[in-house]
Chains A and B, each alone.
Chain A
Amino acid sequence: MNYEVVIGLEIHLELQTISKLFCGCSTAFDREPNTNCCPVCLGLPGSLPVFNKRAIELAVIAALALNSEVQRGSRFDRKNYFYPDLPKAYQVSQYDRPLARGGYLEFEADSGVRRVGLERVHLEEEAGKLQHAGNSIYQAEYSLVDYNRAGIPLLEIVTAPQIHSGREARAFLENLRLTMLYAGVSDCKMEEGSLRCDANISLRPPGSDRFGTKAEVKNMNSFRSVEMALDYEVGRQAKLLDAGSIVVQETCHWDEVNKRTISLRDKEESSDYRYFPEPDLMPLQLNNSFIEKLAEKMPELPRQRLQRLLEQYGLDKEAAVLLTANPGLSNLFEETAGIYGRYKDLANWIQGDLLYQLREQGKEPVEINPNQLAELLKLLDEGVINRPVAKELLSEMVQRGLSPKKLVEDRGLTMISGPQKLVPLVEQVIADNPEAVESYQKGKKKVIGFLLGKVMDLTGGRADPGEINRILKDKLKD
Chain B
Amino acid sequence: MELFEYSAYELSKMLQRKKTSSEELVRSYLKRIELINPRVNAYITATPALALDTAQSVDNKRIRGEELHPLAGIPVAVKDNISTAGIKTTCASRILEHYIPPYDATVVKALNRAGMPVLGKTNLDEFAMGSSTENSAFFPTRNPWDLEKVPGGSSGGSAAAVASGMAPLALGSDTGGSIRQPAALCGVTGLRPTYGRVSRYGLVAFASSLDQVGTLALSARDTALLLNLVAGPDPHDSTSLPDRDRDYIDNLTAGVENLRVGVIKQNVADSFDREVTAAVLKAASLLESNGARVEEVSLPMIDYGLSAYYLIAPSEASSNLGRYDGVRYGYFAPGKDISEMFCRTRGEGFGPEVKRRIMIGTYALSAGYYDAYYLQAMKVRTMIRREYEEVFKRYDILIGAASPTPAFKLGEKTSDPLQMYLSDVCNITDSLAGVPSLAIPGGFHSSGLPMGLQLTAAPQSERLLLQVACFFEQHPETKPRRPELDFIESPPEEGGM
Residues of A within 8 A of B (CB): 39, 42-51, 78, 80, 82, 84, 87-90, 137-138, 143, 145, 267, 272, 274-276, 279-282
The reply to whether A45 and B89 contact each other, CB–CB distance below 8 Å, is yes
A152 to B121, CA, bound (A): 34
A-B contact count (CB 8 A): 104
The reply to whether A87 and B338 contact each other, CB–CB distance below 8 Å, is no
A98 to B476, CA, bound (A): 58
- Per a CB cutoff under 8 Å, which of A49, A51, A82, A279 touches B342? A82
Report the nearest B residue to A90, measured CB to CB.
B319
Binds A, one of B13-21, B23-31, B195-203, B300-308: B195-203
**Per-position 1/0 for B319-330, Cβ under 8 A of A:** 100110101110
- The answer to whether A276 and B374 touch (CB under 8 A), given A48-B237, A84-B325, is yes
A39 to B100, CA, bound (A): 12
B365: which A residues are within 8 A, CB to CB? 80, 274-276
Interface status of B256 (Cβ within 8 A of chain A)? no
Report the nearest B residue to A49, measured CB to CB.
B238
CB contact list, B346-375 vs A, under 8 A:
362, 365-367, 370, 374
The reply to whether A39 and B102 contact each other, CB–CB distance below 8 Å, is yes
Interface status of B184 (Cβ within 8 A of chain A)? no
A39: which B residues are within 8 A, CB to CB? 101-103
Residues of B within 8 A of A (CB): 81-83, 89, 91, 96, 99, 101-103, 105, 200-205, 207-209, 235-239, 315-316, 318-319, 322-323, 325, 327-329, 337-339, 342, 362, 365-367, 370, 374
Report the nearest A residue to B108, measured CB to CB.
A46
A49 to B209, CA, bound (A): 14
- The answer to whether A89 and B208 touch (CB under 8 A), given A39-B102, A274-B365, is no
B200 → A minimal CB distance (Å): 6
Supply 7 further A-B pairs (C-beta < 8 A) apart from A44-B102, A89-B322, A280-B208: A46-B202, A47-B103, A89-B325, A137-B337, A274-B319, A274-B366, A274-B370
A87: which B residues are within 8 A, CB to CB? 323, 328
- Per a CB cutoff under 8 Å, which of B82, B91, B204, B238 touches A51? B238
Q: When A and B form their complex, which 6 residue pairs have the shortest distance between CB atoms, in order from nearest?
A: A89-B322, A279-B209, A274-B365, A279-B208, A45-B204, A46-B202
The reply to whether B99 and A276 contact each other, CB–CB distance below 8 Å, is no
The reply to whether B366 and A272 contact each other, CB–CB distance below 8 Å, is yes
A15 to B229, CA, bound (A): 39
A274 to B83, CA, bound (A): 28
- The answer to whether A276 and B319 touch (CB under 8 A), given A42-B328, A46-B201, A82-B342, is yes
The reply to whether A43 and B323 contact each other, CB–CB distance below 8 Å, is yes
B237: which A residues are within 8 A, CB to CB? 48, 50
A43 to B236, CA, bound (A): 14
The reply to whether A272 and B367 contact each other, CB–CB distance below 8 Å, is yes
- The answer to whether A280 and B238 touch (CB under 8 A), given A84-B325, A87-B323, is yes
Report the nearest A residue to B339, measured CB to CB.
A267
A59 to B472, CA, bound (A): 55
Report the nearest A residue to B327, measured CB to CB.
A84
- The answer to whether A45 and B205 touch (CB under 8 A), given A39-B102, A82-B342, is yes
B325: which A residues are within 8 A, CB to CB? 82, 84, 89
Of the listed residues B328, B329, B370, the one surrounded by the most CB atoms of chain A closer than 10 A to its CB is B328
Listed A/B pairs (11) with beta-carbon separation below 8 Å? A43-B328, A44-B101, A45-B89, A45-B99, A46-B83, A47-B103, A48-B237, A279-B209, A279-B239, A280-B208, A280-B238
Report the nearest B residue to A145, measured CB to CB.
B327
- The answer to whether A282 and B366 touch (CB under 8 A), given A44-B101, A82-B342, is no
The reply to whether A138 and B205 contact each other, CB–CB distance below 8 Å, is no
A46 to B84, CA, bound (A): 10
- The answer to whether A46 and B82 touch (CB under 8 A), given A80-B319, A88-B322, A89-B325, is yes
Of the listed residues B208, B315, B362, the one surrounded by the most CB atoms of chain A closer than 10 A to its CB is B208
A143: which B residues are within 8 A, CB to CB? 338
A44 to B239, CA, bound (A): 18
- Per a CB cutoff under 8 Å, which of A45, A89, A276 touches B315? A276
A49 to B320, CA, bound (A): 13
Report the nearest A residue to B211, measured CB to CB.
A279
A50 to B319, CA, bound (A): 18
- Per a CB cutoff under 8 Å, which of A46, A49, A80 touches B322? A80
Report the nearest B residue to A84, measured CB to CB.
B327
The reply to whether A280 and B322 contact each other, CB–CB distance below 8 Å, is no
A146 → B minimal CB distance (Å): 12
Report the nearest A residue to B89, measured CB to CB.
A45
A46 to B238, CA, bound (A): 13
The reply to whether A46 and B315 contact each other, CB–CB distance below 8 Å, is no
Report the nearest A residue to B82, measured CB to CB.
A46
B217 → A minimal CB distance (Å): 23
